[in-house]
Structure formats: C-alpha cells, structure tokens
C-alpha cells in the first residue's frame, strides 16, 4: 500500500479568518507513518490535497481512510470530500473524533455502476447499490482519477490555538474484494425466506422464522401502551415552553427570533419525524425469480386483500410478511400499536410523508398527495400549473383529504415531491419550445402580450424580429437583449406563483384548519430565489429535502421570513446485507447515529427550521424497491422489524436535548 507525499501542513492562526491551504501532491512516499500538524482555530479550517498533476488512484480499495490524532479536549467534526474529473464528481463523508483520541476514519468509495456485460447487470439493472460501493449515482467516477481531497475541521465548541490536531495523508483501506466477480458464484436464492441476504452475517440476522413470534409478544407488551415522555404534552409539545393561544390545531409562530410549531394546546413544538412510519417496501420478482425463496405455502394464501400486502403484481413485501409472522392474524392492528409506541418511546413526535394510515391517531402526522406531473418540455418531473388537467387532478386527490379536516393530530400537508424546478431560466426556455396549444405556452404568450401590447414593442425591447407572439421561440436567445432574460425570470415567477397559489387555495378550501407544507423542494431550489419567494407567498411552511451532512448553513433566501421543514434526510451504511449507502453515506451504525444527532442539533438551531424528518422507517429491500431499485440501508428497523439500537439511542438523545438546543 502506498501513500502520497505532502509537505508538512502548518496552518497559521488568524482571528476571524477561514483558513484554507492547497497542497500540491505529486511524489510517492514510502514513509507510511508521516504525520502532519494542523494548528486549528476559529471553528473552521480547510486543507486541500491536490492531485491534479498526478491523480490519486484508489481503484483497488473499498475505502479512503484518514488517521487523525486529536490532541484537544473537544470533540472534532471532520468533513471529508474527494473530487473527480468533473465538478459534479464529488463524494463526501462526515466523521467525529473524540477528545484526546487517535482514530482512523474510513469513507466508502463510490464507484461507477457495473458494465452491461457484467453477470450482475441482468438481475440488478435498476438496483442502486451493489457490494463494494458500486452505485448508480450521478457523482460516481473512475477512482483512478481523484483530483483532490479536502478536509475541514470544526467543532460544536470554539477551537483555540491550544487545540492541536495531527493527520496522516489519505490512504486506501481494505482491498476491493467484489471487483467483477461472476454473479453465478453467489449462493441462490440470494435472499432467505425473511428477505435477508444469505451470503453475509450480522448481529441481528435471524437464522429461522420462529423467533419472530416471541419478538411480537415482547414488543406488544413493551410498546402498545406507550405515551410521550412526561415533560411533553399529549401532542408531543414542550410543557415547559411558554403557553400561547390554544386553537385545537397546529399552527406556526415566531418566538424570540425563531420559528416554531404550536401544538393544539398552545405549547411550542418542533417536529422530529420519520417518513414511511410503520411501512416497508416491496421488491420486484419479475424476470428474476431465482433470487427469491419459493414461499409456496404463503403464496397460496395470497388471495385476500390483506395478503396482497405480501404478494402482488410480481412483487414481494418481506417486511409485511415478517410482521404477519410476528403478530399473527391481527398483525396490522398490533403493528400499528407497537409502531405508535415505539415512536413515542424513541423520540419521534411526527409520522412523516407516506406513513401507514393505521397510525394517524393519537400521534402527530403529515399527509402527502401527488397530482399528476404532465412534464414541461424535457423536464419530466414538473406540472403545468396553467393546465385544467392539473387542476382537476389536484381537486380529485384533495377529496381524499376531507376525512382529516377535523383531526387535531394532523400537522400539515405536502403536495408533490421534488418537482424539478431546475435553474432559474430552464423552465421558461422549455416553455418557449412547447406547442402553441400547451397551456403553459399560451400563458407565456398572454403574459408577453399584456406587457408589450404589440409584437413590434417586444422586438424593440428584445432585439428580435418575430412576426407574431405565436412565433416567439428561443432559437436565438443568446443574441437577445438583457430584457429578454428579465422577462423570462418574470414568467418563471408567474409560473411558480400560479402553481403555489392554485395548490394553496385547494388545500385551504379542503382543510381550513391545517397547514400547507409546499412541495418538498429538491436541493437545487436553494439557488432559485424566484421559486423560493413564490412558495413563501402561499405556503404556511416551506419544505426542503436536504441530503447534506451540514444543516446549519442551509440558506433560505434573505427576503423570506417563513418557517421551513426538512422533509427528508438520511445517511446510509450499505451494511447488514443491504448494499446501498443512500444519498449520503455513513461508515457504520455508530457513524450513522452520530450523524443523525449532529444533523438534528444543527437543524434545531436554524431559525427557520421547525422540523426534520428522517427517510425512512425500514431498510429498503436488498434487491431494490419495485419502482426504482433503491436499496438503501437507511431504516431505524430492518426487514425483520428489529431496531438498530445505536440509531434508536441517537434519536432518544436528540429528543431529550431538543428544546434546550432550540432555545439556546
């Protein structure tokens, strides 16, 4: 194993300065124990090892590792990233080093999906992760071409000149064992009758079905009557918080410079939630039945509506199947009671989006509806807000919400998920190329007619030569005057305003006492002030799905003074027989638990955030969920409904400290 030579790093101390130094690295060093000193202060220091002239090659290793010696009395936060050939080729990790400790931290290396010629591809063509770090991510690249490695050191406490840290050069760790091994060497079926990967072992893995029944008896006894902790209201609000008006429903309020929910009894509330509460995912068996056990007896029983929860349309839901084995005939009712009790005991005060309907009682919950996305040009995941078809579908789906209108446990409603708003001008540019009959295109022409009255006035302003408003296009948009882009931005504002206004009116007419949470923005919207501001006019709470390690620095546009909620975040371990590491990875269970606590701490201190929901309740199937092949090890429980205790402890600890962290 070789390491890369770098000059000694000695980072100076300058008050109120963010320190960063780039070290050009191009010489092999046989001294594997070479140590570099970092004098760190002022809570933020960055060091970049640059390999642009001699790419770092870690293609034969599973992990990139760092040996960090923390000679301080403070716990360190270490943010690590490595950069590939293109700007989007970035993989990241976050780790924590205990005070006065020497620890080796390991970041799993994302590697490009296997080629079509691989024997794995025919059975796992859609699956997001395979053993060894193979992923179908946008940021995977050839690991022979690492251009730079960046290390950022910080702490929850202020660092001073007496806090000294030593680090050894990044190195490859654990030779890659998977490589291109032939799939035929795998033991088949690849899953056992409980949905567990057969060719690996871990502490909570079951060797037989029989223990599930005793687990069911124990869990029902432990959790079926569980209530919130005594310092919380029956709704999960904080009893020791100031008392505000009790409306009988949740609402929002700004208090001492920070936004909050207020629970139906008038107490402050911060939503620590989890999506998909009580639910697992189905996996497809189509054209790959050899991967799965026969389950002949249970398949023969799959004739009732209840048993369709296990087998339907060439899918298997092993989680539901294990719940039936765990609780017996009344499994759905017992599982609902245990899930509610677990959430209250563990510290989750909210069931997030896509949670099981059976737990929408005696516990705060959210709802989500998905009006059809017709697409806008090449942007498939977008609605045309001017379309009557969209409005009709929205109204139809809103009818499903009516039964919740008087439920005090309903926290709020999301409509749509991660619409692709893209860059600021991408939607207007796509609309320019649409057929003239498309409602969004008609709306653009009306908008321009209202502003310019005549095509001659528009041509004068844009420097164009269109013969009519119907002939407007973007073929020469680069040559148009600056007012063209200003008009396109104004149209984007109209587009977004129409979407959020239309949805808000339907939600408020349907649920007049409840909150509208927006559309769970993809992270790209953090750069789109037009769309953010449009949402802020109509949403009671703006929602973002933020798959980052750092929540404290997330920027909401400065002109917006609104509460916000994080609809999704996670850190996947790619372990326990479930290979996918998720959208942000963790090295192991302990790292995952620590990442969760830090994320909730940072989100709770952000003045706008009034909640954050982990994605999701149960690990996804090792063989990929049916709709898109996601197979992330991101659950608080596994496929046999056993909890990950380190994660549970992290949630409990976050909940215990939540109020004090928020107010301080």
- The pLDDT of residue 5: 33
Q: Is residue 361 part of a domain?
A: yes
Q: Is residue 573 part of a domain?
A: yes
Q: Prior bond to 539 cis, omega within 30? A: no
379, 439: one domain: no
Residue 459: Cβ-neighbour burial (10 angstroms; 0-12, 13-18, 19+): middle
Question: Cα separation of 464 and 452, whole Å?
Answer: 13
Q: How many CB atoms sit inside 10 A of residue 53's CB?
A: 9
Higher pLDDT, 43 or 243: 243
Task: Decide which of 119, 150, 185 is a domain's last residue.
Answer: 185
377, 443: one domain: no
- The pLDDT of residue 45: 79
Residue 324 sits in a domain whose CATH number is 3.20.20.80
Residue 464 predicted with pLDDT over 50: yes
Task: Decide which of 150, 185, 220 is a domain's last residue.
Answer: 185
Per the CB < 8 A criterion, the answer to whether 271 and 235 are in contact is no
Per the CB < 8 A criterion, the answer to whether 152 and 123 are in contact is no
The interaxial angle of helices 331-346 and 318-327, nearest 10 deg, is: 100
**pLDDT tens for each residue of 384-428:** 999 999 999 999 999 999 999 999 999 999 999 999 998 889 999
**pLDDT tens for each residue of 621-631:** 999 999 899 99
Question: Cα separation of 440 and 388, whole Å?
Answer: 11
Q: Which two tokens stand for residue 9?
A: 């790093």
Give the lowest-confidence range in 179-183, 229-233, 528-532: 179-183
Give the lowest-confidence range in 232-236, 388-392, 555-559: 555-559
409, 439: one domain: no
Question: Cα separation of 381 and 374, whole Å?
Answer: 8
Q: Is residue 342 part of a domain?
A: yes
User: Strand 101-108 relative to strand 76-83: parallel, antiparallel, unpaired?
Assistant: unpaired
414, 486: one domain: no
Cα maximum dimension of the chain: 80
Determine the length of the chain: 664
Strand partners, 102: 69
- DSSP one-letter code for 18: -
519, 577: one domain: yes
- The pLDDT of residue 125: 85
Q: Which of 520, 499, 507 is nearest to 398 (CA)?
A: 507
% of the chain residues with pLDDT over 90? 76
499, 557: one domain: yes
Q: What is the mean pLDDT of residues 642-658?
A: 98
**pLDDT tens for each residue of 336-362:** 999 999 999 999 999 999 999 999 989
The domain containing residue 504 runs over which residues? 211-282+292-421+494-663
Per the CB < 8 A criterion, the answer to whether 148 and 50 are in contact is yes
Q: Is residue 199 part of a domain?
A: no
Q: Is residue 327 part of a domain?
A: yes
Q: Which of 20, 140, 5 is nearest to 84 (CA)?
A: 140
508, 455: one domain: no
110, 220: one domain: no
**pLDDT tens for each residue of 192-224:** 999 999 999 999 999 999 999 999 999 999 999
Residue 31 predicted with pLDDT over 70: no
Confidence of residue 301 (pLDDT cuts 50, 70, 90): low
615, 583: one domain: yes
Q: Is residue 197 part of a domain?
A: no
414, 435: one domain: no
Q: Is residue 100 part of a domain?
A: yes
584, 601: one domain: yes
Residue 149 sits in a domain whose CATH number is 2.60.120.380
- The pLDDT of residue 121: 85
Q: Is residue 195 part of a domain?
A: no
Q: What is the mean pLDDT of residues 165-187?
A: 82
225, 367: one domain: yes
Task: Decide which of 458, 478, 493 is a domain's last residue.
Answer: 493
- How do the residues of the chain divide into helix, strand and coil, expressed in percent and rounded to 5? 30, 20, 50
- Counting the structural domains of the chain, the total is 3
Three-state SS for 378-393 is: CECCCCCCCCHHHHHH
């Amino acid at each position: 194993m070789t390491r890369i030579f770098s000059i000694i790093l000695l980072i100076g101390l300058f008050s109120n300065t963010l320190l960063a130094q780039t070290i050009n690295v191009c010489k092999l060093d046989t001294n594997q124990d070479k140590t570099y000193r970092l004098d760190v202060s002022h809570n933020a220091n960055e060091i970049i090892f640059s390999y642009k002239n001699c790419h770092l090659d870690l293609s034969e290793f599973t992990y990139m590792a760092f040996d960090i010696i923390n000679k301080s009395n403070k716990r360190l936060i270490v943010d690590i990233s490595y950069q590939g050939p293109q700007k989007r080729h970035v993989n990241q990790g976050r780790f924590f080093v205990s005070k006065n400790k020497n620890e080796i931290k390991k970041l799993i290396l994302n590697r490009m999906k296997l080629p079509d010629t691989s024997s794995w591809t025919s059975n796992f063509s859609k699956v997001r992760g395979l053993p060894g770090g193979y992923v179908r991510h946008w940021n995977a690249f050839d690991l022979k071409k690492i251009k730079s490695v960046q290390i950022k050191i910080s702490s929850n406490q202020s660092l001073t000149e007496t806090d000294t840290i030593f680090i050894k050069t990044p190195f490859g760790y654990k030779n890659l064992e998977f490589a291109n091994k032939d799939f035929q060497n795998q033991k088949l079926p690849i899953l056992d009758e409980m949905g567990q990967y057969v060719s690996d072992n871990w502490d909570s893995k079951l060797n037989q079905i029989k223990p599930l029944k005793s687990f069911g008896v124990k869990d029902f006894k432990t959790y079926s009557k569980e209530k919130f902790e005594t310092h919380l209201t029956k709704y999960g609000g904080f009893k020791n918080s100031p008392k505000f008006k009790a409306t009988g429903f949740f609402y929002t309020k700004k208090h001492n410079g920070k936004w909050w929910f207020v629970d139906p009894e008038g107490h402050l509330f911060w939503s620590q939630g989890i999506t998909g509460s009580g639910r697992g995912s189905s996996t497809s068996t189509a054209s790959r039945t050899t991967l799965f056990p026969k389950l002949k007896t249970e398949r023969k029983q799959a004739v009732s509506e209840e048993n369709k929860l296990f087998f339907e349309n060439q899918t298997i839901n092993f989680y539901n199947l294990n719940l039936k084995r765990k609780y017996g005939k009344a499994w759905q009712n017992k599982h609902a009671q245990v899930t509610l009790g677990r959430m209250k005991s563990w510290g989750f005060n909210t069931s997030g989006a896509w949670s099981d309907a059976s737990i929408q009682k005696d516990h705060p919950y959210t709802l989500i509806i998905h009006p059809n996305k017709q697409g806008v040009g090449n942007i498939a995941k977008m609605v045309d807000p001017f379309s009557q078809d969209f409005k009709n579908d929205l109204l139809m789906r809103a009818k499903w919400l009516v039964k919740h209108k008087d439920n005090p446990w309903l926290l709020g409603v999301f409509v749509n998920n991660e619409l692709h708003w893209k860059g600021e001008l991408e939607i207007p540019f796509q609309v320019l190329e649409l057929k003239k009959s498309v409602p969004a295109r008609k709306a653009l022409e009306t908008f321009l007619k209202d502003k310019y009255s005549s095509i001659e006035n528009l041509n004068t302003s844009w420097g164009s030569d269109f013969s009519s408003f119907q002939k407007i296009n973007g073929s020469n948009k680069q040559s148009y005057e600056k007012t063209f882009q200003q008009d396109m931005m104004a149209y984007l504002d109209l587009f977004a305003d129409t979407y959020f206004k239309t949805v808000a009116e339907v939600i408020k007419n349907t649920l007049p006492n409840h909150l509208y949470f927006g559309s769970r923005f993809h992270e790209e919207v953090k750069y789109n002030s037009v769309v953010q501001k449009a949402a802020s006019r109509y949403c009671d709470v703006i929602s973002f799905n933020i798959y980052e390690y750092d929540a404290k620095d997330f920027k909401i546009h400065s002109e917006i003074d609104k509460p916000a909620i994080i609809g999704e975040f996670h850190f996947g371990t790619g372990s326990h027989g479930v290979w996918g590491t998720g959208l942000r990875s963790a090295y192991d269970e302990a790292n995952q638990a620590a990442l969760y606590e830090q994320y909730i701490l940072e989100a709770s201190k952000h003045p706008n955030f009034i909640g954050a929901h982990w994605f999701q309740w149960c690990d996804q199937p090792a063989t990929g969920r049916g709709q898109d092949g996601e197979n992330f090890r991101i659950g608080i429980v596994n496929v046999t409904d056993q909890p990950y205790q380190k994660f549970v402890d992290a949630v409990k600890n976050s909940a215990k400290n939540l109020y004090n962290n928020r107010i301080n």
